[in-house]
Amino acid sequence: MAFDPNVHLAYQPPAKRHSMTDLGLDPSRALCDFAVTEPFRLLSDEGVKAVRQEIFSEPVQRLCKFTSKRTPSVLRGATQQSQLLKELWYSREVTEAVSDAAGKRISPHPVEYEVAHTNLQDATSSAPVDDWHCDSLPFVVVVLLSDLSGATGGATVLRTGSGKEMAVRIPRPGWAIVLQGQHVEHYAQRAVGVTERTTMVSAYIDADWQTQDNSSLKASRTYSVQSELYHQWAAYRLDALATRAAAMQCNLAQDKAAGNGFDRDQVMDWCTALMSHLQRTVDELKVDEQKSAESPPPPMRPASPLPMGLASPKQQTVI
Protein backbone atom coordinates (compact mmCIF):
# COMPACT_ATOMS: atom_id res chain seq x y z
CA MET A 1 0.00 0.00 0.00
CA ALA A 2 1.30 3.50 -0.84
CA PHE A 3 1.19 6.47 1.50
CA ASP A 4 -1.17 9.25 0.47
CA PRO A 5 -0.95 12.39 2.64
CA ASN A 6 -4.38 13.52 1.45
CA VAL A 7 -5.93 10.30 2.73
CA HIS A 8 -3.75 9.27 5.66
CA LEU A 9 -3.02 12.60 7.40
CA ALA A 10 -5.34 14.93 9.30
CA TYR A 11 -2.87 17.24 11.04
CA GLN A 12 -4.22 19.83 13.44
CA PRO A 13 -1.67 21.89 15.41
CA PRO A 14 -1.48 21.31 19.17
CA ALA A 15 -3.32 23.81 21.34
CA LYS A 16 -0.18 24.38 23.41
CA ARG A 17 3.48 23.47 23.89
CA HIS A 18 4.96 23.06 27.38
CA SER A 19 8.55 24.26 27.78
CA MET A 20 11.15 22.61 29.98
CA THR A 21 11.06 25.77 32.08
CA ASP A 22 7.28 25.32 32.51
CA LEU A 23 8.00 21.85 33.90
CA GLY A 24 10.73 23.14 36.23
CA LEU A 25 13.47 21.46 34.17
CA ASP A 26 16.80 23.05 33.19
CA PRO A 27 16.90 23.59 29.41
CA SER A 28 20.58 24.60 29.28
CA ARG A 29 21.83 21.21 28.07
CA ALA A 30 18.83 20.50 25.83
CA LEU A 31 18.51 21.49 22.17
CA CYS A 32 15.80 24.04 23.01
CA ASP A 33 13.42 25.03 25.77
CA PHE A 34 10.71 22.64 24.67
CA ALA A 35 9.41 19.65 26.62
CA VAL A 36 6.14 18.34 25.20
CA THR A 37 3.12 19.33 23.15
CA GLU A 38 -0.48 18.96 24.11
CA PRO A 39 -1.97 16.01 22.21
CA PHE A 40 -2.78 16.85 18.58
CA ARG A 41 -4.27 15.02 15.63
CA LEU A 42 -1.75 13.67 13.11
CA LEU A 43 -3.35 10.70 11.30
CA SER A 44 -6.82 10.41 9.80
CA ASP A 45 -8.99 7.40 10.63
CA GLU A 46 -7.88 5.95 7.27
CA GLY A 47 -4.25 6.60 8.29
CA VAL A 48 -4.70 4.74 11.57
CA LYS A 49 -6.31 1.84 9.76
CA ALA A 50 -3.52 1.69 7.18
CA VAL A 51 -0.72 1.89 9.78
CA ARG A 52 -2.36 -0.82 11.89
CA GLN A 53 -2.71 -3.02 8.82
CA GLU A 54 1.04 -2.69 8.23
CA ILE A 55 2.22 -3.33 11.80
CA PHE A 56 -0.04 -6.34 12.24
CA SER A 57 0.98 -7.79 8.87
CA GLU A 58 2.64 -11.19 8.86
CA PRO A 59 6.17 -10.03 7.86
CA VAL A 60 6.28 -7.23 10.46
CA GLN A 61 4.99 -9.49 13.23
CA ARG A 62 7.41 -12.27 12.25
CA LEU A 63 10.55 -10.20 11.61
CA CYS A 64 10.30 -7.09 13.77
CA LYS A 65 9.35 -8.25 17.28
CA PHE A 66 11.89 -7.67 20.04
CA THR A 67 11.88 -7.58 23.80
CA SER A 68 14.28 -5.98 26.25
CA LYS A 69 14.58 -5.54 29.97
CA ARG A 70 12.88 -2.15 29.75
CA THR A 71 10.34 -2.88 27.03
CA PRO A 72 8.54 -6.23 27.08
CA SER A 73 7.24 -6.01 23.51
CA VAL A 74 8.32 -3.74 20.65
CA LEU A 75 8.40 -3.72 16.87
CA ARG A 76 11.62 -2.44 15.30
CA GLY A 77 12.60 -2.04 11.66
CA ALA A 78 9.02 -2.08 10.36
CA THR A 79 9.88 0.47 7.65
CA GLN A 80 12.03 -2.20 6.03
CA GLN A 81 8.95 -4.39 5.65
CA SER A 82 6.39 -1.70 4.82
CA GLN A 83 6.52 0.80 1.98
CA LEU A 84 3.66 2.79 3.55
CA LEU A 85 5.43 3.24 6.89
CA LYS A 86 8.67 4.26 5.20
CA GLU A 87 6.94 6.75 2.91
CA LEU A 88 4.81 8.14 5.74
CA TRP A 89 7.62 8.79 8.23
CA TYR A 90 10.08 10.17 5.67
CA SER A 91 7.42 12.28 3.89
CA ARG A 92 7.73 16.04 3.65
CA GLU A 93 4.15 16.40 4.93
CA VAL A 94 4.73 14.47 8.17
CA THR A 95 8.10 16.13 8.78
CA GLU A 96 6.50 19.55 8.37
CA ALA A 97 3.57 18.66 10.63
CA VAL A 98 5.80 17.29 13.41
CA SER A 99 8.16 20.29 13.12
CA ASP A 100 5.20 22.65 13.30
CA ALA A 101 3.91 20.87 16.41
CA ALA A 102 7.35 21.01 18.07
CA GLY A 103 7.88 24.66 17.08
CA LYS A 104 11.28 23.72 15.69
CA ARG A 105 12.57 22.32 12.39
CA ILE A 106 13.36 18.67 13.01
CA SER A 107 14.13 15.78 10.65
CA PRO A 108 13.26 12.08 10.80
CA HIS A 109 16.09 10.15 12.42
CA PRO A 110 18.44 8.91 9.70
CA VAL A 111 18.92 5.62 11.59
CA GLU A 112 15.94 3.77 10.15
CA TYR A 113 15.57 1.52 13.19
CA GLU A 114 14.54 4.65 15.14
CA VAL A 115 11.61 5.34 12.82
CA ALA A 116 8.22 3.64 13.32
CA HIS A 117 9.35 1.94 16.54
CA THR A 118 6.15 0.47 18.01
CA ASN A 119 5.39 -0.22 21.67
CA LEU A 120 2.92 -3.01 22.32
CA GLN A 121 1.35 -3.73 25.66
CA ASP A 122 2.39 -7.26 26.58
CA ALA A 123 -0.53 -9.25 28.00
CA THR A 124 1.83 -11.68 29.74
CA SER A 125 3.56 -8.99 31.80
CA SER A 126 2.40 -6.42 34.32
CA ALA A 127 5.45 -4.21 33.70
CA PRO A 128 5.04 -0.75 32.20
CA VAL A 129 4.91 -0.70 28.41
CA ASP A 130 8.22 1.20 28.60
CA ASP A 131 9.74 1.84 32.03
CA TRP A 132 11.20 5.13 33.33
CA HIS A 133 13.97 6.50 31.10
CA CYS A 134 15.27 9.43 29.11
CA ASP A 135 15.42 8.68 25.39
CA SER A 136 18.69 8.04 23.58
CA LEU A 137 17.41 10.24 20.74
CA PRO A 138 16.63 13.97 20.79
CA PHE A 139 12.93 14.18 19.89
CA VAL A 140 10.11 11.68 19.44
CA VAL A 141 6.57 11.80 18.17
CA VAL A 142 4.30 9.28 19.90
CA VAL A 143 1.17 8.32 17.95
CA LEU A 144 -1.65 6.38 19.60
CA LEU A 145 -2.87 3.52 17.39
CA SER A 146 -5.46 1.83 19.60
CA ASP A 147 -8.67 2.88 21.29
CA LEU A 148 -8.14 3.60 24.99
CA SER A 149 -11.60 5.01 25.66
CA GLY A 150 -12.83 3.40 28.86
CA ALA A 151 -9.32 2.42 29.92
CA THR A 152 -7.52 3.48 33.05
CA GLY A 153 -3.93 4.60 32.56
CA GLY A 154 -2.27 4.32 29.17
CA ALA A 155 -0.63 7.75 29.46
CA THR A 156 2.92 8.87 28.81
CA VAL A 157 4.02 10.05 32.25
CA LEU A 158 6.70 12.75 32.58
CA ARG A 159 8.75 13.67 35.65
CA THR A 160 8.83 17.39 36.33
CA GLY A 161 11.67 19.29 37.98
CA SER A 162 9.96 19.08 41.37
CA GLY A 163 9.72 15.29 41.09
CA LYS A 164 5.96 15.31 40.47
CA GLU A 165 4.50 13.25 37.66
CA MET A 166 2.60 14.73 34.73
CA ALA A 167 0.48 12.25 32.78
CA VAL A 168 -0.05 13.12 29.13
CA ARG A 169 -3.08 11.25 27.82
CA ILE A 170 -3.52 10.96 24.08
CA PRO A 171 -7.30 10.97 23.62
CA ARG A 172 -7.90 9.08 20.37
CA PRO A 173 -6.19 6.85 17.81
CA GLY A 174 -4.30 8.98 15.27
CA TRP A 175 -3.56 11.65 17.85
CA ALA A 176 0.02 12.27 18.96
CA ILE A 177 2.44 14.18 21.14
CA VAL A 178 5.97 15.43 20.42
CA LEU A 179 8.44 15.13 23.28
CA GLN A 180 12.07 16.18 23.76
CA GLY A 181 12.57 12.80 25.37
CA GLN A 182 16.34 12.98 25.69
CA HIS A 183 15.94 15.58 28.43
CA VAL A 184 12.55 14.78 29.96
CA GLU A 185 12.34 11.57 31.99
CA HIS A 186 9.22 9.56 31.19
CA TYR A 187 7.56 6.15 31.06
CA ALA A 188 4.71 4.56 29.13
CA GLN A 189 1.94 3.49 31.46
CA ARG A 190 -0.04 0.29 31.00
CA ALA A 191 -3.69 0.71 29.97
CA VAL A 192 -6.02 -1.23 32.25
CA GLY A 193 -9.44 -2.33 31.04
CA VAL A 194 -8.51 -2.75 27.37
CA THR A 195 -6.79 -5.58 25.56
CA GLU A 196 -4.50 -3.37 23.51
CA ARG A 197 -2.33 -0.29 23.97
CA THR A 198 -0.30 0.36 20.84
CA THR A 199 1.79 3.44 20.14
CA MET A 200 4.19 4.22 17.32
CA VAL A 201 7.24 6.21 18.36
CA SER A 202 9.34 7.87 15.67
CA ALA A 203 12.55 9.72 16.48
CA TYR A 204 13.80 13.05 15.15
CA ILE A 205 17.02 15.06 15.13
CA ASP A 206 17.58 18.80 14.81
CA ALA A 207 17.29 19.74 11.14
CA ASP A 208 20.16 22.24 11.44
CA TRP A 209 23.39 20.59 10.22
CA GLN A 210 25.41 22.72 12.66
CA THR A 211 23.77 21.13 15.72
CA GLN A 212 25.69 18.25 17.28
CA ASP A 213 23.49 15.19 17.40
CA ASN A 214 23.99 13.38 20.69
CA SER A 215 21.94 10.35 19.71
CA SER A 216 23.06 7.18 21.43
CA LEU A 217 22.56 3.51 20.63
CA LYS A 218 22.39 2.57 24.30
CA ALA A 219 18.74 1.52 24.20
CA SER A 220 18.63 0.68 20.51
CA ARG A 221 21.24 -2.04 20.73
CA THR A 222 19.11 -3.91 23.28
CA TYR A 223 16.33 -4.48 20.75
CA SER A 224 17.88 -4.47 17.29
CA VAL A 225 19.88 -6.80 15.10
CA GLN A 226 23.20 -5.22 15.96
CA SER A 227 25.03 -5.56 12.63
CA GLU A 228 22.11 -3.84 10.88
CA LEU A 229 21.88 -1.13 13.56
CA TYR A 230 25.61 -0.40 13.42
CA HIS A 231 25.54 -0.26 9.63
CA GLN A 232 22.70 2.30 9.73
CA TRP A 233 24.54 4.28 12.41
CA ALA A 234 27.87 4.35 10.54
CA ALA A 235 26.19 5.29 7.25
CA TYR A 236 24.31 8.15 8.95
CA ARG A 237 27.31 9.47 10.86
CA LEU A 238 29.62 9.40 7.82
CA ASP A 239 26.98 11.05 5.66
CA ALA A 240 26.47 13.76 8.30
CA LEU A 241 30.25 14.23 8.52
CA ALA A 242 30.48 14.69 4.76
CA THR A 243 27.54 17.14 4.76
CA ARG A 244 29.01 19.18 7.59
CA ALA A 245 32.49 19.24 6.07
CA ALA A 246 31.05 20.29 2.69
CA ALA A 247 29.08 23.11 4.32
CA MET A 248 32.20 24.32 6.13
CA GLN A 249 34.19 24.22 2.90
CA CYS A 250 31.44 26.22 1.18
CA ASN A 251 31.49 28.82 3.95
CA LEU A 252 35.27 29.09 3.63
CA ALA A 253 35.02 29.66 -0.12
CA GLN A 254 32.26 32.25 0.30
CA ASP A 255 34.29 34.11 2.94
CA LYS A 256 37.28 34.22 0.65
CA ALA A 257 35.21 35.37 -2.32
CA ALA A 258 33.74 38.13 -0.14
CA GLY A 259 37.25 39.29 0.72
CA ASN A 260 36.96 38.35 4.37
CA GLY A 261 40.05 37.32 6.23
CA PHE A 262 40.66 33.76 7.37
CA ASP A 263 38.83 33.20 10.67
CA ARG A 264 41.17 30.76 12.35
CA ASP A 265 39.11 30.42 15.56
CA GLN A 266 35.96 29.60 13.63
CA VAL A 267 37.67 26.96 11.50
CA MET A 268 39.23 25.41 14.61
CA ASP A 269 35.76 25.31 16.22
CA TRP A 270 34.33 23.61 13.15
CA CYS A 271 37.09 21.00 13.08
CA THR A 272 36.77 20.38 16.83
CA ALA A 273 33.03 19.77 16.30
CA LEU A 274 33.82 17.29 13.53
CA MET A 275 36.25 15.44 15.82
CA SER A 276 33.59 15.33 18.54
CA HIS A 277 31.10 13.97 16.00
CA LEU A 278 33.54 11.24 14.96
CA GLN A 279 34.42 10.38 18.55
CA ARG A 280 30.76 9.86 19.40
CA THR A 281 30.40 7.75 16.27
CA VAL A 282 33.25 5.51 17.43
CA ASP A 283 32.08 5.38 21.06
CA GLU A 284 28.65 4.12 20.04
CA LEU A 285 30.23 1.38 17.92
CA LYS A 286 32.15 -0.03 20.87
CA VAL A 287 30.25 -3.16 21.73
CA ASP A 288 30.02 -4.79 25.09
CA GLU A 289 31.04 -8.29 23.99
CA GLN A 290 28.90 -9.80 26.73
CA LYS A 291 25.82 -8.23 25.26
CA SER A 292 26.80 -8.49 21.62
CA ALA A 293 24.15 -10.52 19.90
CA GLU A 294 23.24 -11.61 16.47
CA SER A 295 21.06 -14.07 18.30
CA PRO A 296 17.26 -13.78 18.33
CA PRO A 297 15.72 -11.59 21.00
CA PRO A 298 15.60 -13.20 24.46
CA PRO A 299 12.37 -14.90 25.56
CA MET A 300 9.60 -12.80 27.04
CA ARG A 301 9.83 -12.27 30.77
CA PRO A 302 7.26 -14.10 32.86
CA ALA A 303 4.48 -12.02 34.33
CA SER A 304 5.49 -10.27 37.53
CA PRO A 305 3.22 -10.79 40.53
CA LEU A 306 3.68 -7.13 41.48
CA PRO A 307 1.20 -4.60 40.11
CA MET A 308 3.58 -2.23 38.36
CA GLY A 309 3.25 0.46 35.79
CA LEU A 310 0.26 2.38 36.98
CA ALA A 311 1.19 5.28 39.16
CA SER A 312 -1.45 6.57 41.53
CA PRO A 313 -3.54 9.25 39.80
CA LYS A 314 -3.28 11.29 43.00
CA GLN A 315 0.41 11.84 42.30
CA GLN A 316 -0.14 13.05 38.78
CA THR A 317 -1.08 16.16 36.93
CA VAL A 318 -2.95 15.23 33.77
CA ILE A 319 -2.94 17.12 30.49
| Binding-site ranges for Fe ion (CB under 5 A) | 135, 181
The residue nearest Fe ion at its CB is 135
Residue 94 contacts residue 88 (beta carbons within 8 Å): yes
Closer CB to Fe ion, 36 or 51, in the complex:
36
First to last CA, the chain: 35
Nearest distance from C-beta of residue 48 to Fe ion, angstroms: 21
State how far the alpha carbon of 234 is from the alpha carbons of 106, 261, 292, in Å: 21, 35, 17
Q: Alpha-carbon distance 41 to 80, whole Å?
A: 26
167 Cβ contact partners less than 8 Å away, ≥ 6 residues apart = 155, 156, 157, 158, 189, 311, 313, 316, 317, 318, 319
**What are the residues whose beta carbons fall under 8 Å from the beta carbon of 164, sequence distance 6 or more?**
315, 316, 317
**Nearest-approach distance from CB 140 to Fe ion, in angstroms:** 6
Residue 86 or 183 having the CB closest to Fe ion? 183
What single-letter amino acid sits at 37?
T
CB of 134 to Fe ion, least distance (A): 7
* Least Cβ distance, residue 71 to Fe ion (angstroms): 9
Give the nearer residue to Fe ion in terms of CB position, either 50 or 217. 217
Residues comprising the chain, all counted = 319
In angstroms, what is the minimal distance from the CB of 302 to Fe ion?
24
Nearer to Fe ion, 3 or 204 (CB): 204
Beta-carbon contacts of 165 under 8 Å, excluding residues fewer than 6 positions away, are: 157, 158, 159, 311, 315, 316, 317
Beta carbon nearer to Fe ion, 104 or 183: 183
State the nearest-atom distance from the C-beta of 135 to Fe ion, in Å. Answer: 4
